[in-house]
Amino acid sequence: GTDGFTGTAADAVVVNIAPNSNFFTVPPTVSVPVGGASPAGAPGPVGCDPAPGCSLTLTYELAPYASGVVTFQVQIRDAAGEAGALQTTTLTINEVNNPPLPTLASATGLPATPVTAPENAGAQTTPLLSVPIPAGPPPAIAGTVPFGQEAAQTIASIICVPTNPALFAAMGGPAINPATGALTFTPERNRVGTTLVTCTVLDSADDPLSTADDGTVSFSIRVVAGQDCADGEAGALACDGTHQTCFDDGMPDGDNLLNNNFVCVCNNGGQRASRQAAPLCDDCAAGSAGALACTDAVMPARWTCSDPDPSVTAQGTFTCVCANGGGSGTPPAFCDDCAAAATTGTAACGSVSYCRDPDNGDPGQQSNFECVCNNNANLAAPAANAAPTGTDCDDCAAFPCGAGQTCMDPDGGLPASQLNYVCTCDVTGATSVGSPAATCDDCAMNAAICGVGQTCSDPNTSPATQGNYLCTCDNNGGTGTAAPAAQCDDCAVDACAAAGQLCNDPDMSTGAQQDFTCTCNNGIDYSSAGMGAGVAVGRVSVCPLPPAFAASGSVRVSEELAQVYLPMSMMWVAGPGFAGYSEVWATSITDSEGPGRSDSMTQSREFRLRSLNGTGVNSSAMFTHGPYIDPNGRLTFNLAPNAWGTAVFEVWLVDSGSPSGVPQPTEICPGESEWCRSVASSLVIEVVPENDPPSFNCTNRTIVVQEDAGPVTVAGWGLNISAGPFEALENLEFRVFNDNEGLFSTQPLVDYVQGSTVADLKFEPLRDAEGVATVEVQLWDSGQDVDGSVRRRVASCNLLRIEVLDVNKKPSFSDKGVVQIIEDSGSNVIVSWATSISAGPWSGSKGDQPNNDANNPQTAWFRVNYTDPADAAKFTSLPTIHPITGDLTIHPMPDQNTFGGPVTLNVTLVDSLGLESDVHQLVVYITPVDDPPTFVPGPLRVTVGEGSGLYNETWARHISVGPMHESTGVGPEYEGQLPVFVTEVLSGAELFSLSPEMSPEGRLTFETFPEASGEATVRVTLYDRNPATGVLTAGATHVVTIAVLPVNDPPLVSITRSSLTVEKSAGPQTVQG
DSSP string for 689-756: ------EEEES-SEEEEETT--SEEEEEEEEEEE--TT-TTS--EEEEEES-GGGEEEEEEEE--TT-
pLDDT digits (tens, 9 = 90+) for 259-286: 566 788 888 777 888 778 888 888 888 7
Residue 1016 confidence (pLDDT):
95
Q: Are 763 and 746 in contact (CB under 8 A)?
A: yes
pLDDT of residue 540: 47
**pLDDT reading at 457 higher than 50:** yes
pLDDT average, residue stretch 201-213:
85
pLDDT of residue 252: 44
Residue 182: what pLDDT?
A: 93
Q: Which of 162, 168, 79 is nearest to 121 (CA)?
A: 168
Helix/strand/coil for 498? helix
Report pLDDT for 747.
95
Mean pLDDT within 182-189: 91
169 by Cβ neighbours in 10 Å (0-12 / 13-18 / 19+) ranks as middle
Rg (CA), the chain: 67
* Average pLDDT of the residues in 764-779: 90
Higher pLDDT: 351 or 52? It is 351
pLDDT number for residue 79:
61
Q: What is the DSSP letter of 317?
A: -
Return the number of other C-beta atoms located less than 10 Å from residue 945's C-beta: 13
Name the band, by pLDDT with cuts 50, 70 and 90, for residue 1070.
confident
Contact present, 149 and 94 (Cβ < 8 Å):
no
Q: How far apart are CA 1030 and CA 718, in angstroms?
A: 87
Instruction: Give the tens place of pLDDT for each residue, 947-1005.
Output: 888 999 999 999 888 765 555 444 444 556 788 899 999 999 999 999 999 999 999 99
pLDDT of residue 501: 64
> Comparing C-alpha atoms, which of 417, 401, 291 is closest to residue 352?
417
Distance in Å from the first CA to the final CA of the chain: 75
Pairing type for strands 124-127 and 182-185 reads antiparallel
Q: With 70 as the cut, is the pLDDT of residue 1036 above it?
A: yes
Give 1023's contacts (C-beta < 8 A, 6+ positions apart): 933, 979, 980, 981, 982, 1032, 1033, 1034, 1035
Give the pLDDT of residue 421: 83
pLDDT, averaged across the chain? 77
How far apart (Å, rounded) are the C-alpha atoms in residues 87 and 60? 17
Q: Which residue has the higher pLDDT, 478 or 266?
A: 266
pLDDT at site 363: 78
Across 307-311, 363-367, 740-744, which has the greatest mean pLDDT?
Answer: 740-744
How wide is the angle at C-alpha 423 spanned by C-alphas 417 and 429, nearest 5°?
145
In this predicted structure, the answer to whether residue 98 has a pLDDT above a threshold of 70 is: yes
Measure CA 443 to chain center: 80
Q: Give residue 663's pLDDT band: very low, low, confident or very high (50, 70, 90).
A: low
Q: What is the mean pLDDT of residues 505-518?
A: 74
Separation of alpha carbons 41 and 37, rounded Å: 7
- In degrees rounded to 5, what are phi and psi of residue 151? -65, -30
> Is the predicted pLDDT of residue 862 greater than 50, yes or no?
yes
Amino acid letter for position 654: V
Say if residue 835's pLDDT is above 70: yes
Looking at the predicted structure, is the pLDDT value of residue 1 above 60? Answer: no
Task: Look at 107 and 998; give whichever has higher pLDDT.
Answer: 998
Question: 11-15, 95-99, 846-850: which range is least confident on average?
Answer: 846-850
Query: What does the pLDDT read at residue 700?
Result: 80
State the Cα angle at 811 between 807 and 813, rounded to 5°.
145
Burial class (CB in 10 A: 0-12, 13-18, 19+), 677: buried
Q: Per mean pLDDT, which range of 64-73, 799-808, 817-826, 907-916 is the poorest? A: 64-73
Span 849-864, average pLDDT: 68
Say if residue 48's pLDDT is above 80. Answer: no
pLDDT tens-digit profile of 527-585?
333 333 334 344 444 566 778 899 988 988 877 664 443 333 333 333 344 457 889 99
Measured CA to CA, the distance from residue 449 to residue 453 in angstroms comes to 12
Query: pLDDT grade, residue 885 (50/70/90)?
Result: very high
Max mean pLDDT among 221-235, 444-458, 903-917, 1024-1038 falls in 903-917
Query: 223, 246 in Cβ contact below 8 A?
Result: no
**Range from 366-380, 704-718, 823-837, 1018-1032 carrying the lowest mean pLDDT:** 366-380
Percent of the chain surpassing pLDDT 90: 22
Name which of 378, 329, 331, 339 is nearest 361 in CA terms. Answer: 339
The model's pTM is 0.31
Reported as a single tens digit per residue, the pLDDT across 135-177 is 887 655 544 444 446 777 888 889 999 988 888 988 888 999 9
- Alpha-carbon span 122 to 195, nearest angstrom: 17
pLDDT score of 874 more than 60: yes
Predicted confidence at residue 599, as pLDDT, reads: 42
Residue 268: predicted pLDDT: 79
pLDDT confidence of residue 690: 76
Residue 927 has what DSSP assignment? E
225-244: pLDDT as tens digits? 667 777 777 777 888 778 88
- With vertex at residue 315, the alpha carbon angle to CA 312 and CA 318, rounded to the nearest 5 degrees, is 130
Over residues 297-318, the mean pLDDT reads 79
Tell me: pLDDT of 78 over 80. no
Q: Which helix (H) or strand (E) holds 345?
A: helix 345-349
Distance separating alpha carbons of residues 992 and 1003, to the nearest angstrom: 17
pLDDT of residue 596: 41
- The mean per-residue pLDDT over the stretch 921-950 comes to 89
Determine the pLDDT at residue 1004.
94
E-strand spans in 501-622?
A: 501-504, 517-520, 535-537, 548-551, 555-558, 579-584, 586-590, 605-615
User: Cα–Cα distances in Å, from 1038 out to 667, 984, 1041?
Assistant: 149, 11, 10
Highest-confidence segment of 445-459, 623-637, 1007-1021:
1007-1021
Please report the pLDDT score of residue 365 as a whole number: 77
Residue-wise pLDDT for 573-619, tens only, equals: 333 444 578 899 999 998 877 554 444 456 788 899 988 875 543 44
